[in-house]
Amino acid sequence: MARPPLVELIDIEKHFGGVRAVDRVSLDLWPGEVVGVLGHNGAGKSCLMRILSGAMMPSAGEIRVNGTSTVFDSPNDARDAGIETIYQTLALADHLDAAANLFLGRELKTRFGNLDDARMLAEARTVLARLNPNFKNLRDPVSSLSGGQRQVIAIARAIYFDTKILIMDEPTAALGPSETAMVADLIRQLRDEGIGIFLVSHDMHDVFELCDRVVVMNKGRLVGAHAIHEVSKDDVLSLIVKGELPADWSARNLAEAAQ
Amino acid sequence: MAFRPAAMTGARGPAAVARVLPDAAKLHRLSALATLFLLVIGFALASPAFFSVNNGLTILLQTSVIGLLGIGMTMVIITGGIDLSVGSVLALSGVASGMAIKAGVPVAPGMAFGVLVGAACGAVNGLIVTKMRIPPFVATLGMMLMARGLALQLTGAAPISQLGEAFGRLGNGALFRIVEMRPNGFPKVVFPGIPYPAIVLLVVAIAAAYILRRRQIGRHIYATGSNEEAARLSGVRVDRAKLYAYAMSGALAGLAGIVLMSRLVTAQPSEGVMYELDAIAAAVIGGASLSGGVGTVPGTMIGAFIIGILRNGLNMAGVSAFIQQIVIGAVVIAAVWIDHIRNRP
C-alpha cells in the first residue's frame, strides 16, 4: 500500500519505577478506521492513549505520524499533528463558559491580540448546534451544564479543529441512551470522513457495533489485535481477563464460512 | 451520598443550582457594594469628620496600597494559589528603591528598580511553585521571611530617610491641585486634587482587568485555577500562567511599596507587616475564591475599599488599634466563610 498509516506506535514502553505500565506495544491506525482499545482498569490502555495524545512521554519507543517519526512534548504537539483526545474526565474548566472551553489553549484573537469572544461564541454556537440543536445556554459556566452538554462540548472541541486522529476515552460513560446513539452516529460520520478513531471503551456492545478492529491490553502488553468479524464477545472477554484467546479458538468469520 | 444533603433533598437539582450560579456571583458583588455603602453611612453618622473631602482623599490614599496588593493577590488566587509574601516584598522593594536613590540613581529609574525587585521576588515565588512543586502557601511563606530578612539586613533595620522631595512626589502629590495665595500670604487649597496613588491604582486596575478579561494569558489564568489538569490537557501552559500571576503580584507589591515609601518620604524596612492579610481579605470580600478559578478586579476594588474604609472609619471613631485588629480579623474569617458557603454544592 502506497500510503502509510495515519499513526504508528512502535515498541512503546512506559515505566513508573519498576512497574511497566506499557510494555513494548505496537499499534497502527488507518484513515476511516475505528479501533476499539479494550482492557481492564490498569491494563495500560489509558496510559498508551495519553502517550499518543502528548500528555505523557513514553520511556521508549517511536511514534510515527503519516510515516514520519515524531516526539510529542506536550498536548499541543499532538494537536498540531491532528491528534485530538476526548478524555473520560472531559477536561473542562468548570468556571469558563462553553465557548471559552471549546477554544481553550487555541483562543481566537483579534488583530490586536485581544480575545475575540464574539467570534468564538459564534463559532461555538455553530459547531455545538450541529451536535445538539437544543444547546442554547452557551454563556453559562460549564459547571452548570448537564452531563450530556458537557460531553458535547468535549466532543465539539475535538472535532472543530482539523482532526485526523481522534482518541475517545469512554465517550458514552456519562450519557443517556439518546445521547449515546448520537455519539455512535457521530463516530460513523467521522469515520466516513476519513478520520481514524481509537475508541477506548468497556461497553462490549458499542465496540462490536462501531469498531472495525479491536486491540486488547492486559498488564501493559498488547495481547490481541483482531478484525472485529474474527472474534466473538466471549473471545474478547477471554483476552481481557486471561490475556489469551480460548484454547479452541478459530476465527469466527472463517468458522461461519465453513459451516 | 450522605455528604451531599442538597442532592438528597432533590428540591434543588444540580441544574437548578447551576442556573443560579452566575447570578450568585453578581449577588455577591452587590452585597459587597451594599456593605460598602452601609459602612460609609455608619461611619459618617458616628463621626462627622469621616464624611469630608479631606478624609475621602485619605481613604483613597490608604486604599491605593491595599488595592495594588489586592489586584496582584487576585491574579494569584484565581490560579488557585496564595501569595503571603506581598507585605515583605513591599518593604524590600521600597528599601531597594531607597538605597538605589541614595546611591545616586535618579528618582524615576530608582523607583522602577524597586518594582523590578518586587517582580523578581514574585518570579522566584512562581518558579518555586511551578518547578519545585512546593505548595504556594509554603513557598510564599518562605519568601515572606526571606524578603523581610533581606530588607532588615540591608538597612540594619534603620529607615532610609532624606530621600529628597522628588521621591515624595508620587505619594504626596496630586493632579489638578488648585492652590491660591490669600492676601495674608498663606495659601488656601481650593481643590485638593486627585492624589497620584489613586491615579496609579486606577490605571493598574484597568490594565489588570483588561489582561484578565481580554487577553489570552488572563483566560489561561482562570482556566489554570478552574481545573489545572484540564487546562494542561487543553494545551494551556499552566506553569507559565502561574509564573505570570506570581510575578505580577510581586511587581504590584513593589509598586505599592514605592507608593507607600514615597508617601512617607522614607524607606522603612519594617513597613507592610501583615499587609498580605488585607490583600487576601480584599480579594475574597470581592468574590475571589480561594479554591481558584473565580475572582475579578472590580470585585477586589470593592473589597479593598471595604477594608480601607473599615480601618479609616474605626480610626476616626477612636477605636483602639487592638480592637481594630479584632474587627479586621473577624471580617477576614467571615469573608472566607462566605466563600466556603458559596462553594458548597
Give the model confidence (pLDDT) of A169-209 as tens digits.
888 777 778 888 888 888 998 999 899 999 998 888 888 88
Return the pLDDT at B337: 84
Return the pLDDT at A1: 52
Domains of chain B (ranges; CATH) run 32-343 (1.10.3470)
**Residues from chain B contacting residue A93 (CB–CB below 8 Å):** 222-223, 226-227, 230-231, 234, 293
Helix, strand, coil percentages (3-state) for chain B, rounded to 5, are 70, 5, 25
Q: Cα–Cα distance between A68 and B207 in angstroms, integer?
A: 45
Return the pLDDT at B24: 65
Return the pLDDT at A259: 60
pLDDT tops 80 at residue A248: no
Return the pLDDT at B20: 47
Asked whether B177 and B193 are in contact (CB, 8 A), the reply is yes
Does the beta carbon of A87 lie under 8 angstroms from any beta carbon of chain B?
yes
Quick one: CA dihedral B244, B250, B254, B256, positive or negative? positive
**Residues from chain A contacting residue B219 (CB–CB below 8 Å):** 96, 100, 104, 107, 115
Q: At a CB cut-off of 8 Å and minimum separation 6, what does A188 contact?
A: A210
Quick one: CA dihedral B100, B104, B106, B107, positive or negative? positive
Lowest mean pLDDT among A87-96, A127-136, B336-345: B336-345
Per-residue model confidence as pLDDT tens digits over B56-98: 888 988 899 999 999 999 999 999 999 999 999 999 999 999 9
3-state SS class at A227: strand
Relative to beta strand A213-218, strand A34-39 is parallel
**Residue range B310-314: mean pLDDT, rounded:** 90
Beta strands in B24-166 (DSSP E): none
Per-residue model confidence as pLDDT tens digits over B192-211: 788 899 999 999 999 999 99
**Residue range A133-138: mean pLDDT, rounded:** 84
Q: How confident is the model at residue B2 (pLDDT cuts 50, 70, 90)?
A: very low
3-state SS class at A36: strand
Per-residue model confidence as pLDDT tens digits over B238-251: 999 999 999 999 99
pLDDT tops 90 at residue A240: no
Task: Give the rounded percent of residues in chain B with a pLDDT score beyond 70.
Answer: 92
Q: What is the pTM of this model?
A: 0.88
Task: Give the rounded percent of residues in chain A with a pLDDT score beyond 90.
Answer: 36
Instruction: Indicate which of A95, A106, A140, A142 best probes the interface with B, i.e. most B CBs within 10 Å of its own CB.
Output: A95
Q: What is the ipTM of this complex?
A: 0.86
Q: What is the mean pLDDT of chain B?
A: 88
Q: How confident is the model at residue B184 (pLDDT cuts 50, 70, 90)?
A: confident
Closest-CA residue of A relative to B213 is A115
Domains of chain A (ranges; CATH) run 7-93+163-258 (3.40.50.300)
